[in-house]
Structure 1
Amino acid sequence: MAGSSFSSETEQFSDVRDTADVNKEDQRHEEQGHEHELKKYYIGSIDQGTTSSRFIIFDATGTPVAMHQLEFEQIYPHSGWHEQDPYEILQSVETCVTKATEAFVAKGLSVSHIKAIGITNQRETTILWDSETGKPLYNAIAWPDTRTLHIVQELKKKEGADEVATLCGLPISSYPSSVKLVWLIRHCEKVREAYEAGRLMFGTVDSWLIYNLNGGPERNIHITDATNASRTMFANLSSLQYDDKLLDFFGIDRNKVRLPRIIPSSDREAFGSISRGPLKGVPITGCLGDQSSALVGQCAFEPGMAKNTYGTGCFLLYNVGDKPVISKHGLLATVAYDFGGSHGPVYALEGNVAVAGSGVKFLMNNMGFFRDSSKISEVALSVEDSGGVIFVTAFSGLFAPYWIDDAKGTMFGITQHTKRGHIARATLEATCFQTRAILEAMEKDSGHKLSQLAVDGGMCNSDICMQTQADIIRIPVDRPFMRESTALGAAIAAGYAVGLWTEYKELMRINRADRTIFKPQITQKESEKMYKRWGKAVEMCRGWIDTTDDNNDDDDV
C-alpha cells in the first residue's frame, strides 16, 4: 500500500511538472512570436539635444535599425550667454529625418511600416515667434544661459517668492524658461512689440518643432506635453495647467502671450503629423522632455527607480509615484511622464549638474587636451588618480542641490606635478561628486536609499567614469548595452499611443540584455576622503560673479 501510494503521488507530481513545463514552453513560444510580430513595426524618434539632433528608427522591441545625427552651432554672444538658431535646430531635425529614413529604406524596409513618431528635446530652452508669420523673434536662449541672474536676484526678493516652488516644483533660478521670457520681453524690441500686440508665441523646443513639422501657421498646432510644461515655472504641478499666480509673479499677461496647450506625453491625435519630407503624413504621437524620456527609456516605471543621464549636463531623476514631492533639500519636483487615460501623471525628484559632457568638450575645444572627446578615458588612465586636483566645473554656476548662482569654474590642488591626466580625471570626478550630492538629497527627501543607479548618455561610454561614479556613490552603476535611452523613451511614448503596447509591464523587457554593472572598488574611507575635499572646494568657489555687473544685461538686442 505504501509503495502504491508513493507511486501515485509521484505520478501526480510528474503530471504537474510536465504541465508546468508545457505551460512555460508555450509562454516562451508565445513571447517569441509576439517579439517576432513586434519586429514588423517601427517607431521614429526625434532626439533634439543641446548640441546635436538625431533621428533614430526603432523596431517595436526597442532595437535601433537606422539613425542619423547632426551637430549644430552654439552661439555665445557674451560671457554667460548661450543661444541657438531656431531655424538651424529645425533644419538639423529635418535633415536627420531624411537621412535616417534613406538608411532605413536602403535596408529594404518600407516607410509604411513606420507607425508613429515621438519627440524628445532639450528642456527649458526658450523660443519666441510671431503668430502671424511663424518666424522667430530672437535666437533660442538655451537652458544653461545665465544672463538672467540679475532678474533671478530681483525675483527672489519679491513678495510671494517663497510660494513659487510649492506651486511649480522649481526654485527661482536662471535655469527655467520663465526668467528667459521675462528677459526677452524687457530687452528685445521685436519681442516687446509682438507681446503688446498679442502676437507673441512662446514655446520650448518641443513646441517649436511640433508647430513647424506640422506646417507652421497654416495648421497652427501650438502644443506642449506635461513634462516640458513643468519646466517653464508657469504650470501648476498638481493641476498641470497654467497657474495665474505664477504668471502674475513673473509679470506675464496671459492675454498678451500665446502659451502652448498642455496635454499628456502620449496622445494619438493632438500632436498632429509630419507635413513634408519622406515621412509626410506619419503621426506624431509622443513627446517628452529629454530627461523624462530617458527615465521612460530605462523603464523606470516603479516608484523608487532612478536614472542618471550624462549628456551635456547631468540629470538624475527619481520616480516618486503619482503625487509630487516638493523637495526640502535643493532638488526639483517635476513631471516624470504622463501617458494619459487611466494612468495619470507620474512625478519625479530631479537633480541637475550643469556641466558634464560639456566639461569634456571644454578640455577638447578650449584647452586642446585631445581631438576627440572619446579620448577622455585614455588621457585619464595615463595617471593613477587626480593627483589631488579638484575641478569645480561651475561654468554656469552650480545647480542642484547647491544652487550657487555666483560660482565660477575653479580648480584647486594644482602643483608642478599636475599633468593633463590629472585634470582629465578631475573633470570626470566633478560630475560624479555632484551626482553623489544629489543622491544624498534624494535620500533625505524620499526617506529611501537607492540600491542601484541606471545610467545612459555619452559620458557613460567611459568605463573609468562609470567606475569612478560607483566608487564615489558606493552603490552599483547599471549601464545598458543599447544606450540611446532618451530616444527610446520618446519612441515608447509614441508606440504606447498607437497601441503597440498597452501596459507598462509589457515594456519591462525592453533593453534588458547585456547590461554592465560597475561595483565600488575603493574603500568607504577613501571615498569619503575624496568627497570631503570636493565639499571644501565647493565652498571656496562661491562669490566669483558680481550680479550687479552690467554685462550688457540692460541693453536692448
Structure 2
Amino acid sequence: MTHILAIDQGTTSSRAILFDDQIRPIRTAQREFKQYYPASGWVEHDPEEIWSTVRDTCLETADGAKVAAIGITNQRETTLVWDRATGKPIYNAIVWQDRRTAATCAALKKTGHEAFVTDRTGLLLDPYFSATKLAWILENVDGARARAEAGELAFGTVDTFLIWRLTNGARHVTDATNAARTMLYDIKTGRWDADICSMLDIPMSMLPEVLDCAADFGATDLFGGDTPILGVAGDQQAATIGQACFKPGMMKSTYGTGCFALLNTGDAPVASKNRLLTTIAYQLDGTPTYALEGSIFIAGAAVQWLRDGLGIIKDASQTGALAQAADPEQEVILVPAFTGLGAPYWDADCRGAIFGLTRGSGPKEFARAALESVGFQTRDLLEAMQADMGAKADTVLRVDGGMAASDWTMQFLADITGAAVDRPTVLETTALGAAWLAGMRAGIYPNQDGFAERWALDYRFEVKMDDATRNRRYDAWQGAVSRTLSRRD
C-alpha cells in the first residue's frame, strides 16, 4: 500500500487529497460548509457538518485505493467540546476568527496576566486562541461545568475531534503544534499548564494527550480495515513542513482565508519584542522546533468580501485583472479589520476602514486595495520578524495558498516588502506537509533532507518597485492603520 490520504480541514471547506508514493497528489475531493454568525464578532461551525464533509471527501477520494496511512491538517484554535459517552458536541465549534471573549482577554490583561501567559505559551492574551473560547463554553452552556468536572466532557481542536470520530472514540489525542495554539500548553516543558487552566477554571481532565507530529494517533475503519493515522499538524505548521522550511531563518507565508507567516527559529524559542507569537513549528522524535509567527486574520477573506459582501466580482480570479486596470493616481487603502487586527497590532476591537476614496473610486480600485492590503500586512509581519531576528531572518519568502496563484498579488508582495517571493510548483503545501508526516512515519516517504530536495520553484518574483515609492506607500498604510486602531498604545 503506497498511497497516503491527507485530510485538510479548513475554515470554509474540507478536502481530502490522495498522494502516491512519489508524494504527488493524484485525486482530490472538496466540500464547503456553512459559516454561522450568531452575533456581531461571533463565528461558529456545526461540528457535524465538519465531520460529514471530512468523511464524505475521504470516501470519495480513497475510492478503492489502498491507503497506507492518513495525515491530518486543520484550522487551528477552533474549539470543540463533546460528550465522551456519545461523541456529540455540546455546542457549535467556536472558530478561530471569533471575538466573543475579547472582554475576558482585556480583563486578564488589565490584571497583569499577559506576561505570565506569554512566558508559558508564547502567545498573547487574545480571543483568537482556544483557551478563552473553552472557558466561555463551560460558563455559558447549561450544565457544562458540572459535566466537565465530572469527567464527562472532552475538549479538542478540530484535529482532536476528527481523530475521536475516526477512531470511534478510542483516542483523545492532539499534536504539539495544535496544543501550542490553545494558550493552555507550556511550549518549553511540553505539558498542559496547570496554572493557566486554574486561572480560567478549566478542568485538566478535558484535555487530550499530546504527541509528536509524526506518531501513532490511532486507526480508523472508515475504509473497511484498520488504516493508521500517522501525521497531524495545524495548517500553518503543515504548510511550513510542506515548504521544507527545516532550517533556522527560513520563512513561509500562506495566503488563505487569513495569512500566516512563520519563521523557523530552530531548537530554542525566541521571545518576540514586536508582538509576534512564539510557537512550535513541528515536533519530531520528541524534540520541538520553534518558530516566530505573525497572524493576519483577513487575506483571501477580503476577496470573498468583494464577491459576497459588495458583489463587485463573481470569482476571485477577476481581482488581478481589475487591480491591474485601476487608476494609478488613486491610492485607495483598505484596512481589512473585519474581525479586528492580528499581529503586530492585536486589536480585537477595531473594525475595517477604507481611506482615500474619490468620486472616481470604483470596483477596480476596491479590488486593488483588497489585494494590496495583503502585501501591506505581510510587510508588517516581516519587519517585526527581522527586528526580532536581525540577520538570522532570510530575505526570501516562500509563499503558498490560494492567493499565491495571483501573479499581480505576488508581484506587489515582493515590491512592498522588498523581498524576493518564491512560489513553488505545489501550492497546496498544507496537505503536502500532512501527507509527508504520515508517509515518512509509514516508511514510504524520505526523511527531512530527502523531502527538502524535492521542493521545486515555479517562479521567483523579484523586487521591481523603487525604495522611495515602497516606503511612501507603506507610510500611507501605517497612517491608515493608526487611524483604525481602537486604542493608541
TM-score, normalised relative to structure 2? 0.97
In the alignment, what sits opposite 1:479? 423
1:390 aligns with 2:333: yes
Q: Return the alpha-carbon distance in structure 2 between the equivalents of residues 253 and 49 of structure 1.
A: 28
1:204 aligns with 2:137: no
Deviation of residue 98 (structure 1)? 1.2
Trace 1:422-461 onto structure 2 (pairs within 5 A): 422-448=365-391, 449-461=393-405
SS in 1 for 2:36: coil
In the alignment, what sits opposite 1:329? 274
1:260 aligns with 2:221: no
Larger mean CA deviation between 189-198 and 370-379 belongs to 189-198
**Structure 1: gaps spanning 5 or more residues:** 1-39, 106-110, 545-557
1:99 aligns with 2:60: yes
Structure index of larger Rg: 1
Identity of aligned residues (%): 43
In the alignment, what sits opposite 2:49? 88
SS in 1 for 2:192: coil
In the alignment, what sits opposite 1:126? 79
Deviation of residue 509 (structure 1)? 2.3
1:215 aligns with 2:156: no
Q: Give the conservation status (yes or no) of the 8 Å contact 2:149–2:203.
A: no
In the alignment, what sits opposite 1:298? 243
How many pairs does the alignment contain?
487
1:470 aligns with 2:414: yes
Q: Return the alpha-carbon distance in structure 2 between the equivalents of residues 385 and 228 of structure 1.
A: 43
Larger mean CA deviation between 243-252 and 60-69 belongs to 243-252
In structure 1, what residue type is equivalent to 2:362?
K
In the alignment, what sits opposite 2:474? 531
Give the 3 Å change call, closer, same or farther, for CA 279–59 of structure 1 in structure 2.
farther
Q: Return the alpha-carbon distance in structure 1 between the equivalents of residues 157 and 87 of structure 2.
A: 15
Deviation of residue 135 (structure 1)? 0.5
Deviation of residue 422 (structure 1)? 0.6
Deviation of residue 159 (structure 1)? 4.5
In the alignment, what sits opposite 2:188? 238
Once the two structures are superposed, residues 378-414 of structure 1 have per-residue CA deviations (whole angstroms, 9 ceiling, x without a partner) of: 2222215482111000011110011122210011111
In the alignment, what sits opposite 1:168? 121
1:141 aligns with 2:141: no
1:315 aligns with 2:263: no
In the alignment, what sits opposite 2:4? 43
Q: Return the alpha-carbon distance in structure 2 between the equivalents of residues 49 and 537 of structure 1.
A: 31
Q: Return the alpha-carbon distance in structure 1 between the equivalents of residues 394 and 365 of structure 2.
A: 30
Deviation of residue 99 (structure 1)? 1.3
Larger mean CA deviation between 442-451 and 292-301 belongs to 442-451
1:251 aligns with 2:198: no
Q: CA RMSD in A?
A: 1.6
Deviation of residue 189 (structure 1)? 1.2
Deviation of residue 501 (structure 1)? 3.9
Q: Return the alpha-carbon distance in structure 1 between the equivalents of residues 239 and 298 of structure 2.
A: 18
In the alignment, what sits opposite 2:464? 521
**Structure 2: gaps spanning 5 or more residues:** none
Q: Give the conservation status (yes or no) of the 8 Å contact 2:72–2:233.
A: yes
In structure 1, what residue type is equivalent to 2:6?
S
In the alignment, what sits opposite 1:34? none
Deviation of residue 502 (structure 1)? 5.3
Q: Give the conservation status (yes or no) of the 8 Å contact 2:272–2:292.
A: yes
SS in 1 for 2:59: helix
In the alignment, what sits opposite 1:493? 437
Q: Return the alpha-carbon distance in structure 1 between the equivalents of residues 144 and 407 of structure 2.
A: 46
Could you say which structure has the higher strand fraction?
Answer: 2
Once the two structures are superposed, residues 221-264 of structure 1 have per-residue CA deviations (whole angstroms, 9 ceiling, x without a partner) of: 1000000000001110111110112212223232xx41000010
In structure 2, what residue type is equivalent to 1:264?
D
In structure 2, what residue type is equivalent to 1:336?
A
1:76 aligns with 2:10: no
Q: Return the alpha-carbon distance in structure 2 between the equivalents of residues 169 and 386 of structure 1.
A: 43
Q: Return the alpha-carbon distance in structure 1 between the equivalents of residues 328 and 3 of structure 2.
A: 45
1:55 aligns with 2:22: no
In the alignment, what sits opposite 2:362? 419
Q: Give the conservation status (yes or no) of the 8 Å contact 2:148–2:206.
A: no
SS in 1 for 2:203: coil
Give the 3 Å change call, closer, same or farther, for CA 118–205 of structure 1 in structure 2.
same
Q: Give the conservation status (yes or no) of the 8 Å contact 1:385–1:425.
A: no
From 288, 294, 305, the counterpart of 2:233: 288
Q: Give the conservation status (yes or no) of the 8 Å contact 1:395–1:408.
A: yes
Q: Give the conservation status (yes or no) of the 8 Å contact 1:319–1:349.
A: yes
SS in 2 for 1:508: helix
In the alignment, what sits opposite 1:338? 283
SS in 1 for 2:220: coil
Q: Give the conservation status (yes or no) of the 8 Å contact 2:23–2:445.
A: no
Q: Return the alpha-carbon distance in structure 2 between the equivalents of residues 211 and 42 of structure 1.
A: 23
SS in 2 for 1:522: coil
Q: Return the alpha-carbon distance in structure 1 between the equivalents of residues 53 and 225 of structure 2.
A: 17
Q: Return the alpha-carbon distance in structure 2 between the equivalents of residues 386 and 43 of structure 1.
A: 51
Q: Give the conservation status (yes or no) of the 8 Å contact 2:118–2:124.
A: yes
In structure 2, what residue type is equivalent to 1:469?
L
